[in-house]
């Protein structure tokens, strides 16, 4: 019985760790989304267009709810008419 309680406690700690990491990742994604949305792809150096397009595509592949959670984590809003234009 004691071993079961130890495993449950270990799982609880692991879950708390994962939730903390998720929150950090949401903040990174939210800040990145806000940055990409503020860019004008026509003004980026050619060496930055491909990486910015990759980030943009990856962000667009996220489920809407996850992206909303990420933006909320950094209190950001993205204009639907964002200026980023891929090269």
Nearest-Å Rg of the Cα atoms of the chain is 18
Q: What is the pTM of this model?
A: 0.77
**For residue 87, pLDDT beyond 70:** no
Q: Find, among 27, 34, 78, the residue nearest to 55 by Cα.
A: 34
CA–CA distance, 51 with 58 (Å, rounded to integer): 11
Instruction: Collect all residues with Cβ–Cβ distance below 8 Å to 84 and sequence separation of at least 6.
Output: 36, 37, 39, 40, 41, 52, 56
Domain spans of the chain, in order of start: 23-87
Q: Are 1 and 47 in contact (CB under 8 A)?
A: no
pLDDT digits (tens, 9 = 90+) for 19-74: 999 999 999 999 999 999 998 888 999 999 999 999 999 999 999 999 999 999 99
């Amino acid at each position: 019985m004691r071993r079961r309680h130890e495993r449950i406690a270990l799982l609880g700690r692991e879950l708390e760790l994962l939730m903390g990491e998720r929150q950090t990742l949401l903040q990174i994604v939210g800040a990145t989304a806000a940055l990409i949305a503020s860019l004008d792809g026509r003004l980026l150096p050619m060496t930055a267009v491909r990486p910015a397009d990759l980030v943009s595509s990856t962000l667009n592949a996220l489920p809407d709810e996850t992206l909303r959670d990420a933006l909320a984590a950094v209190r950001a809003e993205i204009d639907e008419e964002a200026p980023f234009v891929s090269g």
